[in-house]
Amino acid sequence: MSIIIFIVLLSVFQYYKSFYGLKGEIMLMEGEAPSFPVLIYDIKNNKKYEIRNIFYDVQYDANNGNNLIAVIDNEIYKINEYQRTGFANRQLLYKGENVRYPKLVPGKNAISFTQKDKLTYYDLDTKKLIVIAKLLLPGYDWLDSDTVLFTEVDNSGSLNIMAYKISNNKTYVFKKNAAYPSLSYNKKFLAYQRGNVRNVVYIEKINGSDRKSVRVNSIGLLPYKPSSDGNYLIGAMYYAGHADVVIINTTNNKIREIFPGIFPSVLDWEE
């Protein structure tokens, strides 16, 4: 009996050890309308919060994690010094028809968003608007202050991660046979998928050879985002009819369920 108890305790210890290095805050929304609440997970204190509001497509500010960017009724707002009780302090950034999925560009006073499925860049100082590409597949992310990554289908039907540079208006293939780019909050790690395989995600260090992969026993894993050290991945494991938001240790593939029964339209991780 004592041996069994020891094995069980050791297993529990190893499980919790697998998630010892987690930090920051996770934010997501289940649906694509303001009727759905914003769900927040405070990793350090292992607490969950729910904010019911009129915003959707909420993301952290890439330049200041205390701020957010979100959409309400075809308007993009910056939420300054947000509180877990609500988003009262807000600033209008842009107004346009069918705007979705906004992001604050790292290192610049600019934003990006999709408008009628077109990936768009907007300089908040000069008011210059650049239509980057038609976004056939969801999901894009900023590699740095000048380069945005997105997925494109080529003439042969293959998926490629493309890069567009604001400074020279050039688009090029960033990674062939890859899709759905997502970068860590500090922009040091990139997560992506290959081909049509949706239950495997690769995580690699930008400008480095360090690469890991995680495989899940579900139909797929999407959306997702890597941690700033590349050791963890948050994502939605989806099945036929439901999904669970989980954190995965990218070294040993251990999984912690944080929001069961939730299939997020957007998720983000600030550290």
Per residue in 198-232, pLDDT (tens digit) is 999 999 999 877 889 999 999 999 999 999 999 99
* CB contact set of 131 (below 8 Å; sequence gap of 6+): 118, 119, 120
Using alpha carbons, select from 180, 179, 162, 183 the residue that is nearest to residue 171: 162
Whether the per-residue pLDDT at 11 is higher than 70: the answer is: no
The full set of domain ranges for the chain reads: 2-270
Instruction: Say whether 265 sits in a helix, a strand or coil.
Output: coil
Q: Are the CB atoms for 224 and 266 separated by under 8 Å? A: no
CATH of 2-270 given 2.120.10.30, 3.10.310.10, 2.60.120.260, 1.10.3210.10: 2.120.10.30
Write down the pLDDT at residue 237.
Answer: 98
Q: What is the mean pLDDT of residues 13-42?
A: 81
Per residue in 173-184, pLDDT (tens digit) is 999 999 999 999
Q: What is the mean pLDDT of residues 4-31?
A: 68
Per residue in 106-155, pLDDT (tens digit) is 999 999 999 999 999 999 999 999 999 999 777 899 999 999 999 999 98
Write down the pLDDT at residue 10.
Answer: 37
b/e per residue 51-64 (b: at least 16 CB within 10 A): bebebbbbbbbbee
Whether the per-residue pLDDT at 12 is higher than 50: the answer is: no
Instruction: Quote the pTM value.
Output: 0.91
Write down the pLDDT at residue 2.
Answer: 60
Q: Are the CB atoms for 202 and 193 separated by under 8 Å? A: yes
Instruction: Say whether 257 sits in a helix, a strand or coil.
Output: strand
Residue found by looking up tokens 């909420």 in the block: 58
The partner residues of 95 in beta bridges, in order of sequence, read 75
Write down the pLDDT at residue 13.
Answer: 43
The partner residues of 70 in beta bridges, in order of sequence, read 77
Query: Which amino acid type is present at position 266?
Result: V
Mean pLDDT, the chain, rounded, equals 90
Write down the pLDDT at residue 8.
Answer: 39
Q: Are the CB atoms for 58 and 69 separated by under 8 Å? A: yes
Q: What is the mean pLDDT of residues 242-257?
A: 96
E-assigned strands of 96-177?
99-104, 110-115, 118-123, 129-134, 140-142, 147-153, 159-165, 170-175
CA distances (Å), origin 120, targets 96, 97, 132, 207? 11, 13, 6, 26
Per residue in 31-84, pLDDT (tens digit) is 766 678 899 999 989 999 998 878 889 999 999 999 999 998 899 999 998 877
